[in-house]
Structure 1
Amino acid sequence: MKIKIKGLGEFQLNPGLPLKTLIPEIKKITSQLPIGFKHNHEYIDWHYSFNEKDLENLELEPIFSSNKEALIFLRHTASHVLAQAVKELFPEAKLGIGPPTEEGFYYDIYYKKPFDEEDLKKIEEKVKEIIKKNLSLERREISKEEARRLFERLKEDFKLELIEELPNSKVSIYSQENFVDLCKGPHLLSTGEIKAIKLLSVAGAYWRGDERNPMLWRIYGTAFFSKEELKEYLERLEEIKRRDHRKLGKELELFTIEEDIGPGLVIWLPKGAIIRNIIENFWKEVHLKRGYQLVYTPHIALKDLWKVSGHLDFYAENMFPSMELENRAYQLKPMNCPFHIYVYNQKRRSYKEFPIRYCELGTVYRFERSGVL
């Protein structure tokens, strides 16, 4: 059956065969192969195959390395290379998830101890070895039952948990050499297409962002199609470090964050307080000019308020625990809006008053757990 690749023409593709079987034909037209494709807002790589029904009127939009979206393919493959490297060096490690991100990629990995700087160096060396081998990737669709057996044999508990939540009867896996991962894609044709890669840091992250789950070690990295792009990115990171607000806040005597007081709790120093005051005055001036009415509300309220507002049903894990005072439960406010409803309810309203706009420079309290951000 014929498929259309935008800008390249029509090609004959038999059902069940991967797109990469078209490469010899496409090379006759262009020396620059697409990194992958897009169809109905979904990314598709060379390893995809289609059934007869899906091939009907199939039109793919090619994505070349010059396109920013190509980085999704590159960095997703980089995360798999990272996972393979970790498994080769630390066979007892268990894999979580490893997606591409806006700035690079990461992989969440369970291991008996945190990975240190020396570990990171060894892993990066192994990553570069795997890239140098130019390993081909393969995609297969298998039944959920087969996937269960596979990842049970590999003792990958987190993958088994993910398999149970997948809605379809079939799942896709990608493999390179002896490494296999549960994955939807998309990926590059081979590991050798990764031209520049750097592992950046390690941080703790609870499995699925829930502190009740095991702590995993999130290895961050980035990858590009050229060494020049990587160099520019690393230089930009250094510049960001130089401009880090925590560093500048201390150096310029604007504010301080003290471990004895608590992480993320800011003490504004005199110089910083002056700047803050100027910004707040400007903020008030702009809002008042646009018809907002300034209000002030408490930092704490009865727990019942947060039940009525719905915060306890949908946001409780991000709120500080309640406190008991004179047999009544109170909680610090995570948002201002419920209080503003009470401001509005102070009297009967007419439609002629609308729009009514309230504004507040309120301090809200969010319980941001270590390893979640």
Structure 2
Amino acid sequence: MDKQRINDTISATLYAGAALTAVVDMQIRKGLGVKEFVTGKGPMAFTTPVLTLFGGVIGGLSATAAGMEFLSLKQQLESTQNSIDPWLEMRHAVVGGQMAAFGAQALLGMTYTARAIFGIMTVDAAIAGYSLCMGPVTILIAGLGVLYLIAWFFQQKPLQAFLANCCWSKRRARDLGLISPEAQQREFAQLYRILYAPKVSVEVLNTTVYSGDASGIRNISVIKRLALDLPGAEPHSTYLALAMIGDPIDRDTWHEQLKRNPYSTAKPPRSWSDVGMYWLENSQCTWIPHQEGQGLRLCGDFSMSSGLSLPPANASLRVYYRTPLIALLGDGAFVGGERGVAFTITQDDGVITLRDDPTPDLDRARHYLLSDQQQCSSYLQPTWQK
């Protein structure tokens, strides 16, 4: 997982934690009517205002989340180089303001909480002072939230950003310098990835397996069906090769474990292996419905067989796909570059498109060539659907 995606994940998790903390705060103060926490007895008793305590925690979590999003947006701006979206810049600036505002909330909460704990001021005075200072901060947070929504709504989509900043755009028309062939190829490769990027969708199935616990069964989630959309593809003019690995249950090892300990509550063992052939055996190729676009859709189930005891819970897929237009860039040109496009699929997180993440196991898996722009396998022969 690259740094940008890690930052986005951490930011979303912290924002969720802040929201959950706010719910707990409201339940304690409004639902239970608790205004303060008292710890200790006698001279060692400490009184903590609930409002300032939770306000500081919420502000701290939100400030950290905004900081991680700030880093993620900074990486996006650095990667765009000359094609910077002004709305993305605005969003980056707004998130910086949110980080400062949430930081102020955290500082106020911790300050007034500490004053109340050490007896510098009463609980009522701490709550009143915190509420008074949080008035303008709350207005600032609300205003920044509105600006964030505006910037997010108007932020350019990938195709808009490309058309506005490519070397043939109006924005760069005044530059009369010669455009190098390498720059033109990079522009074409970026455009082809936007237009022809394969799309993966999955269907998750909840099923049961034998277990040694009291119920005798265990519920697990597996990938039942996987569909691969190839925009702009035609059977005899498309190059398509793919590799797929998954983690089905290791049936032999699982049976051995149950023989040694019939009451084992351990999770069924899984091992990564090539599952591409099992998916292809049950796949069907159709045309993408005209309401959704144009191209081919390869859809298949992970059905149980002699080699596949249960469908995998996680899978990784690499697709080498090009159309005749992309072939103009050279023999090694595919959508996404020389290594094609890679996806990781989990029953929890769905489909994630990998960027430059290393995939050693997937690289060693068998690659299935379905079409080389001259000969096309039966797997890529579309059938008509009513």
Q: TM-score, normalised by structure 2?
A: 0.20
Q: TM-score, normalised by structure 1?
A: 0.20
Between structures 1 and 2, the one with greater helix share: 2
